[in-house]
Amino acid sequence: MNNVDLEKYFKPDLNQARKRSKKTVEELKFQLDDAHEKVGLGKTYKIDTYGCQGNEADSETMAGILELMGFAKTEEEHQADVIIINTCAIRENAENRIWGELGRLKAYKRQNPNLILGLAGCMAQEENVVERVLKKYQHVDIVFGTHNIHKLPEYIETAMFNKERVIEVFSREGEIIENLPKVRQHHFKAWVNIMFGCDEFCTYCIVPYTRGKERSRSKDEVIAEVKELVKQGYQEVTLLGQNVNAYGKDIKTDDYTFGDLLRDLNETGIERIRFTTSHPHDLDLKTMEAMRDCKHVMPFFHLPVQSGSNPVLKKMNRHYTKESYLKTLNELKETVPGISVTTDIIVGFPGETEEDFMETMDLVEKAQFEGAFTFVFSKREGTPAATFEDSTPEEEKKQRLYMLNDKINAGYLKGNERFVGETVKVLVDGVSKYDDTVLAGYSEHNKLVNFKGDKSLIGKIVSVKITLAKTWFLMGEAL
């Protein structure tokens, strides 16, 4: 497709995306235009998803919209009439994988010129990405961001029938769109968005720019969605937000916050409630007490700490110290006995010294995490930390990562060992990756459990007696 008039495109602008106003968030309802109902009849789509659970959930919405338009799902690339790549911008290596994939699809599009190729998600919200697509990736037909998934029918129609390239990315705070159709990945566990965006502006992070302002869905919408899932036979929901502990704080008409939501959802009849992710400085006693009192809220908490060094935490704009984090953590462990806690850690943040790193190691020791996602700092253009002085060689950062991972892995094992001899309840996901006579699923504490059993147990909650603990999983026998 040849388009020389670059001005007609709606391109992202990170400066614009940074702005936050006091305007109230608009709530809109999605409805498919009659004209778009049959666009996809006899055609197929494929969506490739990268990044976090937020993106997984968005892909389910895209699938829902495409199926309303008549498209059918395919996993076979060579059969697809529409391919959408839902991208992640969190670290450079995540982006590099996607550029590689786009490069590969260039040759593919030459063989199949009728294919509509779409680029969506967080990378699409970045100026430099869209510029590069415009210059070097002419085979991408549609670029749209995280704020306009509901406009997908229009974009597909334009690309398919007018043979025009569509580039529309909004760098704004965002609305809340309700009534979006979804085709869910699983039949017994579901993602449920409770809020969108992020206002934390951790200095290393691109998310507040790619996802807009923090905005909570109304409790009625969330509760209704969970009740509907119960009716459909779902066993587990995972509540999603970049900072679920801030839920409701943007709605000024009442003081209904995350703890209240947990209590209300506990009454819906859903068997298991999980959530991700939390910010330590918004985690309050009300939430901890709700977890203690609500039997359907799982005893598991992912509480990203990022660093154990106070100067680094300050430069990251995290609003807590090593000491206050540990205090919150202890309060959580006292309130919810036996809870399993995991975290996220970044090593090699600009200016992180050996001494700072040792503070992180010390915190990991004290916190007794039962797992962590660990990362080397990745420079994100447009964020404050991208301009911070960074003189630590990459090799040294990697050494720190290896050292940290050894400690984290010991925590994984210790966290698993405490269940040997115990009976745990496992929601069976499917067969094991390594052995298809073995079932795999997660316990209430979010431990991966493998045991022999019949495939008919998939989607059910089974009592399993744990016989062996390894670093990454538990083995057991169904009772």
Task: Rule CB under 6 A: say whether 375 interacts with ligand SAH.
Answer: yes
Task: Rule CB under 6 A: say whether 211 interacts with ligand F3S.
Answer: yes
Which one of 86-94, 132-140, 183-191, 331-339 is the stretch in contact with ligand F3S (CB under 6 A)?
86-94
When CB distances to ligand F3S are compared, the closest residue is 51
From the list ligand F3S, ligand SAH, ligand SF4, none, partner contacted by residue 283 (C-beta under 5 to 8 A by kind) = none
From the list ligand F3S, ligand SAH, ligand SF4, none, partner contacted by residue 316 (C-beta under 5 to 8 A by kind) = none
Number of H helices, E strands in the chain: 13, 21
Binding mask 48-77 for ligand F3S (x = CB under 6 A): ---xx-xx----------------------
The tokens of 71 are what?
A: 């498209």
Amino acid at 130: V
From the list ligand SAH, ligand F3S, ligand SF4, none, partner contacted by residue 122 (C-beta under 5 to 8 A by kind) = ligand F3S
Binding mask 232-261 for ligand SAH (x = CB under 6 A): ----------xx------------------
Task: Rule CB under 6 A: say whether 375 interacts with ligand SF4.
Answer: no
Those residues whose C-beta lies under 8 Å from the C-beta of residue 210, and which sit 6 or more positions away, are 17, 89, 122, 125, 126, 145, 146
Task: Rule CB under 6 A: say whether 340 interacts with ligand SF4.
Answer: no
Between 84 and 244, whose beta carbon lies closer to ligand SAH? 244
List the one residue from 344, 390, 417, 429 that touches ligand SAH (CB under 6 A): 344
The tokens of 464 are what?
A: 């399993």
Task: Rule CB under 6 A: say whether 210 interacts with ligand F3S.
Answer: yes
Q: Which of 123, 119, 110, 109 is nearest to 84 (CA)?
A: 119
Task: Rule CB under 6 A: say whether 205 interacts with ligand SF4.
Answer: yes
CB of 430 to ligand SF4, least distance (A): 30
- Which residues, 239 to 258, sit near ligand SF4 by CB under 6 A? 242-243
Task: Rule CB under 6 A: say whether 240 interacts with ligand F3S.
Answer: no
List the one residue from 25, 65, 85, 90 that touches ligand SAH (CB under 6 A): 90
Which chain residues interact with ligand SF4 by CB under 6 A? 198, 200-202, 205, 207-208, 242-243, 279
Which chain residues interact with ligand F3S by CB under 6 A? 51-52, 54-55, 88-90, 121-122, 206-207, 210-211
